């Protein structure tokens, strides 16, 4: 492994952790000595990485350090292209446009060899059944994503499978994109529990100014525990 690759790997390891990681753990993960690790830490700090910590205490990478796109590997470029193509094909209009813009920004700063990998990428998203959409779908998905991002409540008119309408105030904290439908995961004030709402059955949607009282991550953790879904590491 070259020194540049080693520094990149160290950054990637640090970015996966929200809390300080000991030098011994980092060195073991990278297969290097503690002396080499401390030297690499000093190099990254000199280059502007916001690395806090010290030998014996552990290290954490603070927000604000941007990994240069030219450091992407060919596999990472393929993953980005494939994921972006899926979003363009299966996401809402605004999310699809954002995926196109993100690819264009990445392409603009990639070195020639990796730019060729991006332009000639042969990983394709296969055809799928049309997504079932509702009356508020395009505008509604964007509003739902905004409410999740800002932890705000939504007021819904929701139509169940039998065609019955009900009024709901919900705390949305996740949005699932499936092959044929999109599903909002939210705390439902009417039912007093976490419920799933198909976006194609949302008849009307009004974003509320009021933030919900719990943090999104706490609701997500409770839902994962209820459903038996493994949480992301770190």
C-alpha separations of 156 from 165, 207, 220 in Å: 10, 9, 20
Is the residue at 131 inside a domain?
no
Residue 129 lies in a domain: no
Could you tell me if residue 211 is inside a domain?
yes
Contact 85/96 with Cβ under 8 angstroms?
no
How does residue 1 score in pLDDT terms, banded at 50, 70 and 90? low
| Same domain? 157 vs 189 | yes
Could you give the 3-state DSSP secondary structure of residue 210? strand
Backbone Cα Rg of the chain: 22
- Calculate what percentage of the chain has a pLDDT beyond 70: 88
The answer to whether residue 41 is domain-embedded is: yes
Sequence-ordered list of residues with C-beta below 8 angstroms from that of 97, at least 6 positions apart, any chain: none
Domain-located, residue 215: yes
Q: What is the CATH number of the domain that holds 147?
A: 2.30.30
Torsion sign over Cα 119, 128, 157, 186: negative
- How many separate domains does the chain show? 3
Express each pLDDT in 84-134 by its tens digit.
999 988 888 888 899 999 888 888 777 777 788 888 888 888 876 666 555
Which domain covers residue 40, as residue numbers?
3-61
Which residues, 6 or more positions from 56, have their beta carbon under 8 angstroms from its beta carbon?
23
Read off the pLDDT of residues 167-198 as tens digits, 9 standing for 90 and up: 999 999 999 988 888 999 999 999 999 999 99
Residues 48 and 81 in one domain: no
Instruction: Catalogue the E-assigned strands of 49-151.
Output: 51-54, 58-61
Please check whether residues 159 and 219 belong to one and the same domain.
Answer: yes
pLDDT at 65 over 70: no
- For residue 147, being part of any structural domain is answered with yes
Within-domain flag for 82: yes
Residue of higher predicted confidence among 133 and 222? 222
Domain-embedded: residue 234: no
Q: Do 89 and 49 sit in the same domain of this protein?
A: no
pTM: 0.65
Assess whether 214 and 144 both reside in one domain: yes
């Amino acid at each position: 492994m070259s020194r540049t690759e080693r520094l990149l790997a160290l950054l990637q390891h640090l970015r996966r952790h929200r809390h300080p990681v000991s030098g011994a753990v980092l060195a073991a993960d990278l297969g290097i000595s503690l002396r080499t690790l401390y030297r690499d830490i000093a190099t990254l700090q000199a280059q502007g990485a916001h690395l806090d910590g010290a030998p014996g205490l552990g290290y954490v990478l603070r927000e604000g350090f941007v990994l240069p796109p030219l450091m992407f590997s060919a596999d990472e470029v393929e993953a980005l292209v494939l994921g972006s193509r899926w979003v363009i094909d299966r996401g809402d209009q605004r999310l699809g446009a954002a995926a196109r813009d993100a690819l264009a920004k990445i392409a603009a700063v990639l070195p020639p060899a990796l730019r060729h990998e991006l332009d000639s990428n042969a990983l394709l998203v296969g055809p799928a059944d049309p997504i079932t959409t509702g009356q508020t779908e395009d505008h509604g998905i964007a509003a739902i994503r905004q409410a999740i991002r800002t932890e705000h409540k939504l007021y819904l008119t929701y139509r169940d499978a039998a065609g019955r309408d009900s009024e709901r105030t919900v705390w949305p904290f996740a949005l699932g994109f499936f092959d044929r439908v999109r599903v909002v995961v939210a705390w439902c004030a009417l039912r007093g529990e976490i419920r799933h709402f198909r976006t194609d059955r949302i008849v009307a949607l009004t974003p509320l100014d009021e933030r919900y009282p719990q943090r999104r991550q706490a609701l997500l953790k409770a839902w994962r525990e209820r459903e038996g879904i493994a949480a992301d590491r770190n």
